[in-house]
Amino acid sequence: MNSLDFSSASIAEMLAFKGKEAEKLRSDADNLTDKIFGGNVFLRGIIEVSNICSKDCDYCGIRRSNDKVKRYRMNSDEIKQVIDSAYTEGFRTVVLQAGEDNLMDENIAQIIEYAKLKYDISITLSLGERSEKIYRMWRDAGADRYLLRIETTNRNIFKMIHPDDDYEKRLNCLAILQNLGYETGTGVMIGLPKQTLGDLADDLLFFKKNKFDMLGFGPFIPHRETPLKESATAELDLVLNFTALCRLMNENANIPATTATGTLDVRGREMALRSGANVIMPNCTPKKFREEYDLYDNKLGLSENADDSLARAQKVVKGAGKELLLGVNK
CA dihedral 218, 224, 228, 231 (to 10 degrees): 70
Rounded Cα distance, 73 and 49, in Å: 6
Query: Rounded distance, CA 289 to CA 71, Å?
Result: 9
The reply on whether position 74 binds ligand SAH by CB under 6 A is no
Spatial separation of the C-alpha atoms in residues 259 and 280, rounded to whole Å? 9
146 touches ligand SAH (CB under 6 A): no
Tell me whether residue 35 is exposed, middle or buried, using C-beta atoms within 10 angstroms of its C-beta: 0 to 12, 13 to 18, 19 or more. Answer: exposed
- Cα–Cα dist 156/260, whole Å: 24
**Least spacing, CB of residue 100 vs ligand SAH, in Å:** 5
Give yes or no for residue 151 binding ligand SAH (CB under 6 A): yes
- Residues 123, 158 contacting (CB under 8 angstroms): no
* Binding segment toward ligand SAH, per CB under 6 A, in 22-30, 68-76, 96-104, 237-245: 96-104
Question: Closest approach of Cβ 33 to ligand SAH, in Å?
Answer: 22
The piece of 109-117, 147-155, 176-184, 275-283 that touches ligand SAH (CB under 6 A) is: 147-155
Asked if residues 32 and 251 have their Cβ atoms less than 8 Å apart, the reply is: yes
Q: Which is nearer to ligand SAH, 204 or 325 (CB)?
A: 204
100 binds ligand SAH (CB under 6 A): yes
Q: How far is CA 231 from the centre of its chain?
A: 21
Q: For the window 114-133, what string marks contact with ligand SAH as x by the rule CB under 6 A?
A: ------------x-x-----
- Write down the least CB distance from residue 126 to ligand SAH, Å: 5
Angle, helices 197-210 vs 8-15, to 10°: value is: 120
Q: How many residues bind ligand SAH (CB under 6 A)?
A: 18
Binding mask 291-330 for ligand SAH (x = CB under 6 A): ----xx----------------------------------
By the criterion CB under 6 A, which residues form the site for ligand SAH? 59-60, 97, 99-100, 126, 128, 148-149, 151, 189, 218, 220-221, 223, 260, 295-296
